[in-house]
Amino acid sequence: MHRRNFLFGGVPLSFALLAARPVRSAPLSHEYNLMTAGSGKVATIIDGDTLTLEDGQVIRLVGIQAPKLPLDRPNFTAWPLADEARQMLSELTLGNTVTLSYGGTRIDRHGRALAHLHLPDGRWVQGEMLHAGLARVYSFADNRARVAEMLLLEREARQAERGIWQLPYYAVRNAEMGAKDDRLARDIDSFQLVEGRIRKAARVGKYMYLNFGSDYRTDFTISIAKRYWRKFDAAQMTPAKLQGKHVRVRGWLTKRNGPMIEATHPEQIELLP
């Protein structure tokens, strides 16, 4: 297996690129709630999860988040391995004709197509980026197709410490950090994965709260608005089922009393052994 080494802060980072064993995806089918809708030749690569086709259509690779580049945003610092993620997406797709498929909302508020991409040889581009450790799963309530598969690929890359998973910047946070030394507070307004045990789960008014400590005013909490309860009930993620469970949640950290992540769909919360 050929590997490409990168340096970050003087530390060599190794991950398998195109010469590695490819991630083969199953044929598109209703099993995955995907619908094929056209194809196009890739003309430019914007970053690790965004590209444009020759017809000018901008494609956002739905379901994943690659390390971010500034892209002319003032005072924005590139995330570690952002250039490497962009390079891998370029090597995978630039000049290739890709098939587009959709499993939810098709266009975002920026006018970008929210698509799954497949290469001429059948490889699933989202799967390749996750397998290499150059993206995280980043799903939404209106775009949940194939998230279970993506979570498995991300987990395998994390366990193998490929790509971003070698760096503390992307490490899974401990829910108890909020109570012990306020470390989670330093990550407010960033996308994080947080693990811990749900100490108390209850529905209060228009929200369900999953508390990870004894003091909701300082400890980490997951909130779920009432309009999303039906999705969680269908996934058997009720307060009675979740209380006491060890979980991993992903989302944008905000501050409402203590650190908080708002969950809008069950795939954001993984039940752990």
Please say whether the beta carbons of 63 and 44 come within 8 A. no
> Per residue in 106-146, pLDDT tens?
999 999 999 999 999 999 999 999 999 999 999 999 999 99
Q: Which residue has the higher pLDDT, 2 or 190?
A: 190
Residue 21 has pLDDT above 80, yes or no: no
| Confidence band of 16 (pLDDT split at 50, 70, 90) | very low
* Domains located in the chain, CATH noted: 3-166 (2.40.50.90), 172-271 (2.40.50.140)
User: What number of residues does the chain have?
Assistant: 273
Please say whether the beta carbons of 249 and 269 come within 8 A. yes
Mean pLDDT of 194-215: 96
**How much is the pLDDT for 140?**
96
Mean pLDDT of 24-46: 73
Residue 32 has pLDDT above 80, yes or no: no
Rounded Cα–Cα distance for residues 248 and 192 (Å):
10
Instruction: Give the CA distances from residue 162 to residues 43, 50, 63, 139, 169, in Å, rounded to whole numbers and listed in that order.
Output: 28, 21, 19, 21, 14
